[in-house]
């Protein structure tokens, strides 16, 4: 049984609840354990994962959050930099599933977050599990 840390950027509570439900369900269905920590926004997710990885308590990580396009360039900065941070960590060998949604509006976010639709929280957890399995195969 592996231990996963779900790091969520809880900015849109109702959307995060849906993502979190999907991730937890997928991890539990695979027979693994999980804990959850909350950070202020998507930019803080990679840093939280890096800090948690240093403890050695977790085998893999799931990044969750929702970034909805606004009227300014901020959307691109947050979307790109959070993804870049997560990618840097994965290239260092960390099994991470990226479930940070980058969408145009709330309707798109809801469709992607609901377990009955796209279930991106669950997919992110499944990706983290798959990457951990791959890492173990190469060890």
35 is in an annotated binding site: no
Task: Please check if 42 is assigned to a binding site.
Answer: yes
φ/ψ of 103, rounded to 5, equals -130, 165
How many Å apart are CA 33 and CA 20, to the nearest integer?
A: 14
Q: What is the DSSP letter of 56?
A: T
Pair 46, 90: CB distance under 8 Å: no
- 138 appears as a binding residue in the annotation: no
Residue 14 designated active-site: no
Does residue 44 have a known ligand-binding role? yes
- Is residue 4 marked as binding? no
- Binding site, by residue number, is 11, 42-44, 66-68, 71-72, 98, 112
Q: Residues with catalytic annotation?
A: 74
- Binding site for 5-amino-6-(D-ribitylamino)uracil, by residue number, is 11, 42-44, 66-68, 98
């Amino acid at each position: 049984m592996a231990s996963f840390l779900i790091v969520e950027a809880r900015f849109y509570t109702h959307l995060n609840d849906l993502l979190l439900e999907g991730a937890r369900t997928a991890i539990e269905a695979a027979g693994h354990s999980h804990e959850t920590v909350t950070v202020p926004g998507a930019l803080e997710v990679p840093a939280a994962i890096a800090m948690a990885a240093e403890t050695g308590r977790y085998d893999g990580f799931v990044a969750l959050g929702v970034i909805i396009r606004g009227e300014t360039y901020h959307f691109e900065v947050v979307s790109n930099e959070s993804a870049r941070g997560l990618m840097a960590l994965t290239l260092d060998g960390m099994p991470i599933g990226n479930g940070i949604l980058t969408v145009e509006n709330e309707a798109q976010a809801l469709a992607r977050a609901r377990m009955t639709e796209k279930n991106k929280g669950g997919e992110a957890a499944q990706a983290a599990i798959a990457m951990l399995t791959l890492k173990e195969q190469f060890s």
